Amino acid sequence: MRHVLTLDQGTTSSRALVVAADGRVVGRGQREFTQHFPQPGWVEHDPEEIWATTLASAREALAEAGVVPDAIGITNQRETIVLWDRATGRPLDRALVWQDRRTTQRCLALRAAGQADAIHQATGLVPDPYFSATKLEWLLEHKARAAGVPTDRLAAGTIDTWLIWRLTNGAVHATDPTNASRTMLYDINTGAWSPQLQALFNVPSGILPEVRPSAGDFGTSAAEHLGHAMPIRGVAGDQQAALFGQGCWEAGQSKNTYGTGAFMLLHTGPARPVGGQGILTTIACDAEGRAAYALEASIFVAGAAVQWLRDGLGLLSKAPESEAMARSLSGNDGVYFVPALTGLGAPSWEPEARGTIVGLTRGTTREHLVRAALEAMAYGTADVLEAMRGASGAPLEVLRVDGGATFNDWLMQFQADVLGVPVERPDVIETTAMGAAGLAGIAAGVWPDAAAFFASRSYHRFAPAAGANGARAGLGGWRRAVRASVAWARERGRARCRAPRRTGDADARADAPGPRRATYVRRSRP
Query: Do 374 and 366 meet the contact criterion of CB atoms below 8 Å apart?
Result: no
- Of the candidate spans 144-152, 316-324, 391-399, 448-456, the one that interacts with ligand ADP by CB under 6 A turns out to be 316-324
Among 6, 183, 221, 322, binds ligand ADP (CB under 6 A): 322
Residue 51 exposure: Cα atoms within 13 Å on the Cβ side: 20
Torsion of CA 447, 450, 456, 459, to 10 degrees: 170
Cα–Cα dist 69/3, whole Å: 5
Q: Is 404 in the site for ligand ADP (CB under 6 A)?
A: yes
194 versus 256: smaller Cβ distance to ligand ADP: 256
306 versus 385: smaller Cβ distance to ligand ADP: 306
Among 46, 64, 108, 407, binds ligand ADP (CB under 6 A): 407
Q: Is 403 in the site for ligand ADP (CB under 6 A)?
A: yes
Among 164, 174, 265, 306, binds ligand ADP (CB under 6 A): 306
- 36: number of Cβ within 10 Å: 14
Q: Is 320 in the site for ligand ADP (CB under 6 A)?
A: yes
Instruction: Return the DSSP state at 334.
Output: T
Q: Is 488 in the site for ligand ADP (CB under 6 A)?
A: no
CB of 272 to ligand ADP, least distance (A): 29
Report CA torsion sign: 494, 498, 503, 506. Answer: negative
CB contact burial 456-489 (16+ within 10 A = b; e otherwise): bbebeebebeeeebebbebbebbbebbeebbebb
Cα–Cα dist 516/496, whole Å: 9
What residue number has its CB nearest to ligand ADP?
Answer: 404
Q: Is 163 in the site for ligand ADP (CB under 6 A)?
A: no
Among 93, 137, 286, 323, binds ligand ADP (CB under 6 A): 323
Q: Is 319 in the site for ligand ADP (CB under 6 A)?
A: yes
Q: Is 10 in the site for ligand ADP (CB under 6 A)?
A: no
CB of 410 to ligand ADP, least distance (A): 8
Q: Please list the residues that pair with 266 across neighbouring strands.
A: 254, 295
CB of 329 to ligand ADP, least distance (A): 15
128 versus 402: smaller Cβ distance to ligand ADP: 402
Residues within window 200-259 making contact with ligand ADP, judged by CB under 6 A: 259
CB of 245 to ligand ADP, least distance (A): 15
CB of 332 to ligand ADP, least distance (A): 16
- Of the candidate spans 57-65, 89-97, 205-213, 401-409, the one that interacts with ligand ADP by CB under 6 A turns out to be 401-409
The separation between CA 389 and the C-alpha centre of its own chain, rounded to angstroms, equals 19
Using alpha carbons only, what angle is made at residue 262 by residues 256 and 265, rounded to the nearest 5 degrees? 40
CB of 402 to ligand ADP, least distance (A): 8
291 versus 401: smaller Cβ distance to ligand ADP: 401
221 versus 432: smaller Cβ distance to ligand ADP: 432
* Residue count, binding to ligand ADP (CB under 6 A): 15
Query: Do 228 and 68 meet the contact criterion of CB atoms below 8 Å apart?
Result: yes
Return all residues near 5 (Cβ < 8 A) that are at least 6 apart: 16, 17, 18, 58, 61, 62, 69, 71, 72, 73, 226, 230
Residue 510 exposure: Cα atoms within 13 Å on the Cβ side: 13
Q: Is 307 in the site for ligand ADP (CB under 6 A)?
A: yes
> Helix H segments across 158-290?
159-167, 177-180, 195-200, 223-226, 238-245
CB of 355 to ligand ADP, least distance (A): 15
Least Cα distance to 13 among 59, 65, 49 occurs for 49
CB of 401 to ligand ADP, least distance (A): 11
CB contact burial 16-26 (16+ within 10 A = b; e otherwise): bbbbbbebebb
Write the interaction track for ligand ADP spanning residues 254-293; mark x where CB under 6 A is met and - where it is not: -----xx---------------------------------
Name residue 391's amino acid. A
E-only strand ranges, 217-358: 220-221, 230-237, 253-258, 262-269, 280-285, 291-299, 336-338, 356-358
For ligand ADP, the binding residues (CB under 6 A) are: 259-260, 303-304, 306-307, 319-320, 322-323, 403-405, 407-408
